[in-house]
Every structure is written in structure tokens, then in C-alpha cells.
Amino acid sequence: MSGDRRYEGYLLLADISGYTAFLTGTELEHAHAIIRELTKLIRSRLAPPMKFVKLEGDAVFCYADVAAFADGERFVELIEVCYFDFANRLQDMTRATTCKCDACKAIPSLGLKFVTHFGSFMIEEDDDGREDLAGPDVILVHRLLKNAISDGAGPQAYAFFTDGCMRRMPTWFSLPRHSETYDSFGEVTGGVYDLQPMLEERRAARRVYLSAEDADFDGRFETAFAPEVVWQYFVDPEKRLRWQPGQTAVTAEPNPAGRMGAGASTHCAHGEGTADGLREYLDWRPFSYFTNRYISLRNGNEGAFLAAMETTEFTPLDGGGTAVTMRIRIEDRSESELRRFLEHEESANMRKLFHLAWIPLNKAIEEDGFLPAEAVAPNGD
């Protein structure tokens, strides 16, 4: 069976490097177990929001429809987190093994690279109902795996974005140029993102996390969608606006690096008669949690919300859904202010709104074509 519908979207291959040398060693059993664990990790970090197509030896092939990432930064973030978790897992495996076999000794020599292209493709279904992709752009993204990016002093861990993909990216994302020539495609140009500095930066980033014990407000709801999907609907202003009750406008101010992350902020308006709010992000851990400071802005209604720290956490549930937890700690710890928060209808109102937020959130996510991992009943506090 072959579908004639053409799709447009992101094509991504995540390829474990050092794999051939690794598997030609003698300790095949350990080598295979290590590769299996790493491939499983890569798959789980990319899909969803991407759709897994298949394993191709040491490479994971997946794609996403153009609508899956309203903002290209979320796609970059997905690759960054996948590499971050991969590199950390390698480090853990290296530290944990006491085995002296060739395979286990060679774990640190494994690496991960990504090649990605934005283009069109057809989705074909085989007799078992499994999807596969076809078309010239699909061939091209596979050809990209053979390249000279790591030659000489080139980066070992990288993501290569073709120009087709770069055009979907935010303006801050400018990369060193690279070009390759392939039979029947000619010259293919794009940008190379060195993942090593990103890894070091993420490892060094300060942790700011509000625990349940320290919180004055602790709200929780569940949704059937994966954390990587739900995350977008909290951090993308347009997406957040579509579901968050009481919100009339959200605008984002990126950090000095041009990113949404620590140092970035969002400004939310809540309409006539209420104060606007400013969220300044202090810690940014996609797709696990973010922590921000929240303050009221002066627009004639200042003081309507108390200055606070907030942690919004995304916990994966068995079956693929997400528990979203929001914790708030009021900055002013005086008895009167705490009482004002706890007894004031502000917190009661917020509890009610937050408790029901999964309804419009699920609706927005469904409208964008994401499929729930499985039906999950709402379960708030």
C-alpha cells in the first residue's frame, strides 16, 4: 500500500558513532546490550513529539509533521536534551561498569551525531501496518550521514541542519556553515551545531527547584500526552495562550543568548482590572521542569499577585502521560503576607483554575494532531 498524500516536516537521524569498531570486538554480548540500552534511550528522548519510523543499525530514524513544532527552538531543544541524556548515560555506564572486556572498556569512545533536513515525503504502510517514509528528501537525509564534519578538528558530537531545516529555525540560531556534495543531489549546504559546549553549559547550570515541603501552593493534574509535548504548551507563548485560563496575552523575551531558558522572561496580561505578571526564568530543564520568579507588573493594579517563586514540573506517567505539578512559594515570609496568600481567594481561585487546566490544555494539544499515549483520568489534589 502506498499513500499518495505528501507530508511536509522534519526528518531526523540520530546515529551512534564508534559503533562499527565497537561491534567488531569480541565481547558481542556486552556490546549488543550497551547499544540496545543507548538506542532505547535515544528513541524515548525523541518520540513523541517526533514519530519513530525505524531503527537502522546504529541509527534512529524519526520525523515530525510541520505542525509538531510551532517554534523551531523546540526542535533544537529536543536534540539538545537527547544528546545531554545520552552523554550522561554514557558517563554513568562508564562509571558503573567493573567489566574489563573490550566492549565495556570502549563505552567512552561511543558518540552521537544528528543529521536533520526539512522537506516533503510520503508515508507508506507495509503489510504489518508499519509506517515507512519515501521520497527524495528521505534519501537525502540518509546520505547526510556520510559527511566530513568530524574530519580534522571538526566536532565529534554535532547536529547538522540543512538549509531547508535552518529556514524553520529562530533567528538566534546561526551556525558555522558546512557543505557536502552527493550524487544526484549536488551540493547540500547547512549549519553545524557543536553539541559539546552545550553539554558543558547544561551540566554547569545552576539548579533552582521548589520542593513540595517548601511550597505554599502545590497543584497537580494529569494529562495523557508525553512531557515533551506538554512542555511546548507551557513555554511557547501562543500555545500557552490557547489553554491557560484568564490569560489574554503572553509575550516572551529571550535571554542574552537568544534562547528561552534561564535569563529569559515572559510577560502575561490577564485583562481589564487585574495586574500583568512577569515570569523570569531561573532554571530551565526541558522536559522535566522550569523554575521562575513571578512578579506583578505596575499597570494600575500592582500588588494583585504576590511576588513568588514557581516550579512547574513534568513527570512522566506509566503509559506515556504526564503529571504536571505547579508549586509556588511566596517571597515575603511574614505571617500577614502568608495568611493573605493562603486565605485570600487568589490561591483558592488559582487552585480551581489549575485543577481544571487539563481540559483546555488537552483540547489544544488534540487540535494540533498529537495522539494521547492512553486515556488518563484527571487526578488532581
Site of interaction with Zn ion (CB under 5 A): 30, 99, 101, 104
Least distance between Zn ion and beta carbon 156 (Å): 23
**CB closer to Zn ion out of 101 and 304:** 101
| Shortest Cβ 103–Zn ion spacing (Å) | 5
In angstroms, the Cα distances linking 65 to 161, 236, 304, 320, 346 are 17, 18, 41, 20, 40
Write down the least CB distance from residue 33 to Zn ion, Å: 8
Minimum separation from the CB atom of position 83 to Zn ion (A): 24
Say what the alpha-carbon torsion angle 298, 303, 305, 308 is, to the nearest 10 degrees.
Answer: 90
If DSSP codes are grouped into helix, strand and coil, which group holds residue 209? coil
> From the CB of 376, what's the least distance to Zn ion, in Å?
40
- Nearer of residues 101 and 323 to Zn ion, judged by Cβ: 101
Residue 103 vs 326, nearer CB to Zn ion: 103
In this structure, which amino acid lies at residue 106?
A
Q: Which residue's CB is nearer to Zn ion, number 108 or number 378? A: 108
Task: CB nearer to Zn ion: give 79 or 106.
Answer: 106
- Per-residue buried b or exposed e for 35-65, using 16+ beta carbons within 10 Å of the residue's own CB: beebbebbbebbbbbbbbbeeeebbbbbbbb
Please count the residues of the chain.
381
* Closest CB 31 distance from Zn ion, rounded Å: 8
Helix (H) and strand (E) counts in the chain: 12, 15
Residue 109: phi and psi, rounded to 5, are -85, -5
Q: Which residues contact 127 (CB under 8 A, 6 or more apart)?
A: none
Q: Which is nearer to Zn ion, 31 or 365 (CB)?
A: 31
